[in-house]
Amino acid sequence: MKTARFLDRQSPPHVLSLVAVAGLSALTMNIFLPSLPDMAAHFGVDYATIQILISGYIAVTAFVQIVIGPLSDRFGRRPTVLAALVLLLVATAMCMLADSFGVLVAGRLLQTAVVTGLVLSRAIVRDMVPMEEAASMIGYVTMGMTLVPMIGPTLGGVLNDTFGWQANFAAIFILGAIVLTLAWADLGETNHNRSSSFSQQFRAWPGLLASPTFWGYTATATFTSGAFFAFLGGAPFVGATLMKMSPSTLGMQFVFIAAGYMVGNFLSGRYARRAGISNMMLTGALVSLAGIALPAILFTVGAGSAAAFFVPQVIVGFGNGLTLPSANAGIVSVKPELAGSASGLGGAMTMAGGAVLSLFASSILTVESGALPLIWVMLVSCVLAVAAILYLRYADRDAN
């Protein structure tokens, strides 16, 4: 594999380009979260209906990832990423100019094409380096990527207060055009062992699905990120409706979980190769569990507040940052020759679980119930992540 040279599309992509394409995917997911109450009022729908812009997006993302992996294994990483970025720009223009809720939803669901950057950044890393090194490199890519969504909701809240909710989509369009230009100039092809046909990738799935190791890594990623997706689904209601926060103030609260995630990714990048991905995953899962247990205790004893809910999310994010790079590296390393398909299939299963948890968390929240239902959903998800890692460790030991 050639050494990466920045802005040379004949060499593997520079890490900055991987951060950009992955970060754009995360930004598209969350920049407009503080605007949800205003968007609901604009289109005359309730919060449960407007929330489809999150849960529906996550659900369609699961389907997109099923296709993205095999496409990139068959036709290459570079053309797949570039086509997805073009589709993102079209979809974002639809959202920005939407004159009805139906058009907004259609544009929002088409925006899911951008998840290609997130999925294939992992596959590209695996193309370039072996598994243990991939966990470290994915950690660094994700750490850099996290800077984008960390400021995304804060930026979105300020844009909403200043220009209206449409400004969030204008920002995505401008940044999407910049990232497309960067990808065109720097994103060299890394898949030099392409499959002979598109259908061959799907025929390979039974081998992935028959692997206890693949299930272990995927379940770990699903339940670890499930706590985050539940948070995305319910936090706007908790902040805006229960805590009476303005969009800009609510946007600032998302910094806690993103900042913790970034630090966790940095430590994962630095120590995953030394500690081993199994130990890194278990440590992270236990940290996340402790983080969500704190607000669970506080709210149960009647000491709930905005700070009691949002501040401990930094611990949850930190634990996720330790766990997910190693889980994702494991997913794409079960069958390295099918890294794109494994990343897509594992990502699809993760997103499907996230969509269910996001929709469920938002649907059970009411003014009367307060924030506790969301906290319990996140707590159970963290417990299941620990169980998945213990299963994986047992399966690996049994196999050896």
β strands within 292-342, DSSP E: none
Question: What whole-number distance in Å separates Cα of residue 116 and Cα of residue 66?
Answer: 10
The answer to the question of residue 10 being in a domain is no
Is pLDDT larger for residue 357 or for residue 101?
101
The answer to the question of residue 9 being in a domain is no
Instruction: Give the pLDDT score at 282.
Output: 94
* 399 pLDDT above the threshold of 80: no
**Per-residue pLDDT reduced to its tens digit, 14-50:** 888 888 888 898 889 888 888 988 899 999 998 778 8
Is the CA virtual torsion 82, 179, 6, 337 positive or negative? negative
Q: Position of tokens 């890594």?
A: 217
The answer to the question of residue 204 being in a domain is no
130: left (phi over 0), alpha (psi -120 to 50) or beta: beta
* 306 pLDDT above the threshold of 70: yes
What average pLDDT score do residues 237-249 get? 89
Instruction: Give the pLDDT score at 224.
Output: 93
Is pLDDT larger for residue 215 or for residue 345?
215
* 104 pLDDT above the threshold of 90: yes
The answer to the question of residue 168 being in a domain is yes
Is pLDDT larger for residue 234 or for residue 209?
234
pLDDT averaged over the chain? 85
Instruction: Give the pLDDT score at 71.
Output: 82
CATH of the domain at 346: 1.20.1250.20
Domain count, the chain: 1
When mean pLDDT is compared over 3-17, 122-136, 347-361, the highest value belongs to 347-361
pTM of the model: 0.74
Which value, in Å, is the radius of gyration of the alpha carbons in the chain? Answer: 20
Single-letter residue type at 113: A
Is pLDDT larger for residue 196 or for residue 365?
365
Q: Which domain holds residue 253?
A: 15-194+210-399
The answer to the question of residue 173 being in a domain is yes
Q: How many CB atoms lie within 10 A of CB 337?
A: 11
* 182 pLDDT above the threshold of 90: yes
* 352 pLDDT above the threshold of 90: no
**Per-residue pLDDT reduced to its tens digit, 46-84:** 877 888 898 888 888 888 877 887 788 788 889 999 999
* 2 pLDDT above the threshold of 90: no
Q: Position of tokens 């598209």?
A: 28
Instruction: Give the pLDDT score at 130.
Output: 67
Asked if 74 and 194 touch (Cβ cutoff 8 Å), the reply is yes
What average pLDDT score do residues 131-140 get? 67
* 196 pLDDT above the threshold of 70: no
The answer to the question of residue 250 being in a domain is yes
* 170 pLDDT above the threshold of 70: yes
What average pLDDT score do residues 333-359 get? 77
Closest listed residue to residue 91, CA positions, set 127, 62, 116, 120: 116
* 400 pLDDT above the threshold of 60: no
The answer to the question of residue 2 being in a domain is no
The answer to the question of residue 63 being in a domain is yes
Is pLDDT larger for residue 313 or for residue 353?
313
Whole-angstrom CA distances from 235 to 50, 164, 257, 310 are 14, 20, 11, 9
What average pLDDT score do residues 252-281 get? 85
194: left (phi over 0), alpha (psi -120 to 50) or beta: beta
